[in-house]
Amino acid sequence: MYCRRILSGLILLISLQASSESRIVDNLSKAIRYQTISHQNLNAIDYGAFLNFHQFLETTYPRVHSQLKKKIIADYSLVYIWQGNNRALPPVLFDSHYDVVPIEPGTEVDWEYAPFAGIVADGYLWGRGALDDKASVISTLEAMEALLAEGYAPERTMVFSFGHDEEIGGRDGAANIAAYLKNQGLNFEYVVGEGGHGCPWTSNVARKPTGNDCSGRKKLCNANA
């Protein structure tokens, strides 16, 4: 059930034409305005934008932040744990990231709309991170918030990880997230993430090989939720 809700949230965001009247689209638009840019030169990163993005999430999704266990990893990555009713069931992990790649200097004029304006125009939402990967972060949180409002209680524990440095390899965020989850004794039935060519950090936490099953661009999972 929950996996279907995540799918529905993502489809609403990126498969249908954007509407300025949509609260979900508006929240994604706001998320894009936070310039959470990863640079290979770590000294060039404005970590204040990352912390401001955290505050935006806390304000926008109050139920998630009051009812789920939250852990900050390596200062900027986020993990949320939603305890299930049946502790005998292995948990599942939904993984995404909120950092984006820089705008190449000199290409700003090539953008039809400013990359961090989060403009809704011509039936689309424009901006850096609209697909990779803030759409996954926001659709996941929208589904979580909606389910909590309904009083939904999952059977199995669900874990949500939002990395802060995936675009530069995830060695600070994803690697430490994996170490934390392993130390918590969490052994996942399956992982749903951005994927594409396998998920390099999931071998430490998944019960079975994941490979392209964790493909967030299609948001597919081949196991029952």
Predicted TM-score (pTM) of this structure: 0.83
Containing domain of residue 113, as a range? Answer: 2-213
Confidence of residue 18 (pLDDT cuts 50, 70, 90): low
Domain assignment present for 118 = yes
Q: Is 99 a catalytic residue?
A: yes
Over 50: is that where the pLDDT of 214 sits?
no
Residue 89 domain flag: yes
3-state secondary structure 72-105: EECCCEEEEEECCCCCCCCCEEEEEECCECCCCC
- Tell me, what CATH number does 85's domain have? 3.40.630.10
Across the chain, the runs of DSSP E, i.e. the strands, are 69-73, 77-82, 92-97, 119-121, 124-126, 158-163, 190-192
Residues forming a β-bridge with 69? 81
Task: Cite the beta strand spans of 90-174 per DSSP E.
Answer: 92-97, 119-121, 124-126, 158-163
Q: Which of 133, 145, 165, 166 is catalytic?
A: 166
Could you tell me if residue 223 is inside a domain? no
The yes-or-no answer on residue 133 being catalytic is no
Domain membership flag for residue 100: yes
What is the tens place of the pLDDT at every residue in 75-129? 999 999 999 999 999 999 999 999 999 999 999 999 999 999 999 999 899 999 9
Q: Is residue 147 part of a domain?
A: yes
> What average pLDDT score do residues 25-41 get?
97
Which has the closest alpha carbon to 116: 59, 108, 61, 162? 108
* Residue 221 placed within a domain: no
Instruction: Report the greatest alpha carbon distance in the chain.
Output: 55
- Domain tally for the chain? 1
Angstrom CA distances, 79 to 64, 122, 203, stand at 11, 35, 18
The answer to whether position 220 is within a domain reads no
Catalytic pick among 95, 99, 165, 189 = 99
Instruction: Give the per-residue pLDDT at 218.
Output: 34
In a domain, 102, yes or no: yes
Task: Tell me the β-bridge partners of 191.
Answer: 93
